[in-house]
Amino acid sequence: MTQSGARKLRDELQRLKNDVRPRIIRAIAEARAHGDLSENAEYHAAREQQGFVEARIADIEGKLSHAEVIDIAAVNARGKVVFGATVELMNVSTQEVAVYQIVGEDEADIKSGLVSIRSPIARALITKEAGEIIVVEAPGGRLEYEIIDVRYV
C-alpha cells in the first residue's frame, strides 16, 4: 500500500470512530427512548447502520495491520516500473497520453489515475522502462502503449 493510501484509510478510520460511531450511538439511544423496539423503524435502521460501520472499522483495521506501506520516494528502481511508480503512457494508435500510478487494490481509482497492481495495464507495465512499448490485453481488446516517463513520487 502506498503512504497516501494508508493515510486515506487512517483518516476514514478516525472519521468513523470519532464522528460516525458516536452519532449512531446517539441515534440508537434516542430511538430506544421512544419505547417499543419491536416496531421502531428508527431503532432498526440505526442498528443496521451501526453494523455496517463496525464492519467497515474492522475491515480498515485489518487492512492497516497487515499492510506493507511503501515509501515511493525512497524506491530506487533504476527507471523500471514498480509498485507505486507513476507512469506516463501514450496510446500508440490514438496518440492520447495518460498518467497512472500503480497502487494497491484498495487504493485503485481509475478516475484519479490510480490503477490496481492487479489490473491488466499494471501487470503489463511492471519491470518495463521508459521508451518501451507494452501490449495490454484488456477486456475491450488489445491495446499498445509507449512508456514516456517513469517517476517515483
Domain harbouring 31, CATH code: 1.10.287.180
Of 38 and 152, the structure prediction assigns the larger pLDDT to: 152
Confidence of residue 150 (pLDDT cuts 50, 70, 90): very high
Q: Say if residue 78 is in the same domain as residue 52.
A: no
The dihedral over CA atoms of 75, 121, 95, 92, expressed in degrees to the nearest 10, equals 110
Q: Do 49 and 117 fall within a single domain?
A: no
* pLDDT recorded at residue 133: 96
Query: Are 48 and 104 found together in one domain?
Result: no
User: How many domains in the chain?
Assistant: 2
Same domain, 124 and 140: yes
Residue 14: CB atoms within 10 Å = 11
Whether residues 56 and 99 share a domain: the answer is no
Per-residue pLDDT, 71: 87
- Note the helical H segments in the chain: 3-15, 21-33, 41-66, 120-125
C-alpha cell belonging to residue 17: 470512530
pLDDT in tens, 50-95: 999 999 999 999 999 999 998 888 887 888 999 999 999 999 999 9
Are 79 and 139 within one domain? yes
26 has a pLDDT exceeding 90? yes
Q: Looking at the predicted structure, is the pLDDT value of residue 47 above 80?
A: yes
- What residues contact 51, with CB distance under 8 A and at least 6 apart? none
CB 126 within 8 A of CB 82: yes
The answer to whether 49 and 119 are in contact (CB under 8 A) is: no
> 102 with 145, same domain?
yes
**Could you give the dihedral angle defined by the CA atoms of residues 147, 100, 87 and 68, in that order, rounded to the nearest 10 degrees?**
-140
Kindly report whether the global pTM for this prediction surpasses the value 0.95. no
- State the pLDDT at residue 13: 97
Mean of all residue pLDDT scores within the chain: 92
Which of 49, 66, 83 marks a domain boundary?
Answer: 66
CATH number at residue 85: 3.10.50.30
The range of the structural domain enclosing residue 43 comes to 3-66
